[in-house]
Amino acid sequence: MKAISLHFFPIKLPFHTKQLLRPLRKLSCAISATTTSFPPLVSVNDESTAAFWDYQFLFISQRSESVQPILLQTVEGAVPLGFPSGTYYLAGPGIFSDDHGSTVHPLDGHGYLRAFEIDGSNGEVRYSAKYIETEAQKEERDVETGEWRFTHRGPFSVLRGGKKLGNTKVMKNVSNTSVVKWGGKLLCLWEGGDPYEIESGSLNTLGRFDVIDRPETTVEESDVGMISGTTVWDLAAQLLKPILYGVFNMPPKRLLSHYKIDPQRERLLLISCNAEDMLLPRSAFIFYEFDSDFKLAQKQEFNIPDHLMIHDWAFTDTHYVLFGNRIKLDVPGSMLAVSGLTPMISALSVNPSKPTSPIYLLPRFPNAMGGDRDWRVPIEAPSQMWLLHVGNAFERLDEKGNLKIQIHAAACSYQWFNFQKMFGYDWKKSKLDPAFMNAKEGEEESLPHLVQVSININTVEKSETCSVELLNNWSTPADFPAINSNMYGRENKYIYAATSSGSRRTLPHFPFDTVAKLNVEDKSVSTWSVGTRRFIGEPIFVSNGAKEDDGYLIVVEYAVSIQTCYLVILNPKRIGEVDAVVARLKVPKNMNFPLGFHGFWVDHDQ
C-alpha cells in the first residue's frame, strides 16, 4: 500500500477543533510521507474554521506525478465535437512543505506543470503533471526516497529546518509562474532566472533555455535600440554586482515571467531587468521580440531613473507600456534579510511617497524614436495603483496625429500590497492567513480591481491627460484578466476575469469562485459561479471562430471540500445563464493539485 502524507500549516486551534483533529493527528503519525491527501473537515460547523481549512487545502502540496497521461472522467456535459484539439498548460507551485519542518511561500514553491490534452475529434481529455526539474529541485528532492529538504530560502520565505544564518541560497529558480509554447519550444518561466524547456508530450525537463545570452539573441548593433544614460548609481551597481552575482548567485539579468504575444506580427515579446536595480533608484529594462522561429527580431534597452518593480506590462502597435510600481530599499529590513532571519524580500518595500502612479510609454521601434516627447518622463496617472496583471492594451491615432492608449488591467492599492504577506503567508508561524486576502468591510477598494486606464497625447497642443476608472464601473474585487488572444494589441470588446460571489462570510473576496464577463461597449457584467466550498483559478479563452467571443472558456475548479480538481469548459456566450457549463471533467483524487498561477492554450492545428 502506498503511503501518504498529511502536510498542513501549524495553527493555534480552539479546544473543540483540537478534539476533532486528534484522530487525524494519530493517523498522521502512523503513516509516512510521499504524497498529499487530507480528509476535508466536512463536519466542522464553525464557518471560520471551515474557511480556514478550505484556504489551506487550496495550497496543499502534491508530490505525485503522472507516469502516463490519465483519461479524465466526464461528470457533466461533454466536450463538443469540433472543439479545437490542443493542450491547456497550467504552471504553478506544487509543494510548500518539506520533510524537515520548513514551509515556504506559495511564490517559492517548486514549479509543477499540469497539462490537459483535449482531443476534439472524440471528446476525450487526458491529464498529465510533472515537476520542472530545475537545479534547485534536483538539489532539494531525493529521487530515490521522494523526500524533500528545502535548502534554498527563496525570496519570500524563511526556512524552519536547516541552516538559517549566512544561508545565501536565496534565488532558487522554481520555474513556477507562467508557461508558453513558441517556436516549437515549451517554456516554463519564473521571475528571477532563465526559463526551463519542457518536452511537450512527456513533460520531461530538457534543461534551462538561455533566452538572453544564446548566440541567436545577438543582433547587429544598428538594429539595437540602446537608449541609456550614465548616472551616479553606476558605481554603486559595480560594487553590488560581485555580491549579488557571486555570493547570492543571482543572474546578471533576470527575465520577467510575463510575456506578450503580438498576433499581428507573429512575435513573442519578453522583458528582462538587471539584478542590481532591485536595490538602486534606477531601472534598466531590455525588451526582446522573437519571430515565429524564435529568432531575435529586435532588442531595445531603456534606462529609467526611478526605483520600480515590474511584474506585468503591456504593448501596443508602437509602444511598450510599463506601470511603474514604485519601491524603495528598506535598510533595517535588508540587514535582517541578509542575516536569514526574515525573507529576502524584506529588503524592499512599496514607496507610496507620491499620490500619482507613473506610466512609461517606451517607443517600440527604433525608427519611431523621434519626436518631441521624452520617454523618460512618465505619464502620471491621477491615483496610486499597484499594477498586478494586464488584460490588454491598444492605441488609436486620429487624423491630426493625436494618440490615445487604453489599458485594461487589475490593480490594487499601495496600502494593501505587501511583499511578505501575499496569499497570507506568515513566515513566523509557517501558515497561510486568509484574512490578508480578504479586506475588512469598507476596505474592499484596496483589493485588486479591474481598471481602465486612458492616456491621451495631443501632439498639436503638446498636452497629455490620463484617467483611471473602474472597468465598466464594476467595483467587485477581481484579478487574472483574460481576452481572446487574437485580440492582443487590438481594440477588444470582451474581457474575462476571476472574481468572487461574496457568498462566504469569512472568505468574501478570495479565493475566487466566479468567472466574470465584461462587455466594455455596453458596460454590462455577467457572471458564472462554481458553487459552495469550490474555487477557481485563471480563466483561459480558446478561440474557435471569427467573432471575438466565438470559442470556449477553460478554468480549473478546486473542490476543496472533497479535495478534487475539475477541468471546466464554459460557453462564453452563456456566462450569466444557467447552462453556461459545456463540460466538467474530474481529475483523479490522488492527483488533486494546488492552485495554479498562469496557463497557456496550444492549438495543435496552428
Binding residue positions for Fe cation: 311, 389, 598
The binding site consists of: 311, 389, 598
Q: How far apart are CA 115 and CA 196, in angstroms?
A: 16
Strand ranges for 29-111 from DSSP E: 70-71, 73-77, 86-90
Q: Is 43 exposed, middle or buried (0-12, 13-18, 19+ CB in 10 A)?
A: exposed
With left for phi above 0 and alpha for psi between -120 and 50, is residue 249 left, alpha or beta?
left
DSSP-assigned states of every residue in 437-479: TSPPTT-GGGS-EEEEEEEEEETTTTEEEEEEEEGGG--S-EE
Q: Which among 149, 256, 161, 178 is positioned nearest to 212, based on CA atoms?
A: 256
3 state SS for 390-425: EEEEEEEECCCCCEEEEEEEEEECCCCCCCCCHHHE
**CA–CA distance, 57 with 42 (Å, rounded to integer):** 12
CB 144 within 8 A of CB 225: no
468: its cell numbers: 483611471
Q: Cβ distance 120 to 85 under 8 Å?
A: yes
Q: Is 287 helix (H, G, I), strand (E, B) or coil?
A: strand
As a whole number of angstroms, the distance between CA 409 and CA 390 comes to 4
Q: What contacts 207, CB < 8 A, 6 or more positions away?
A: 196, 197
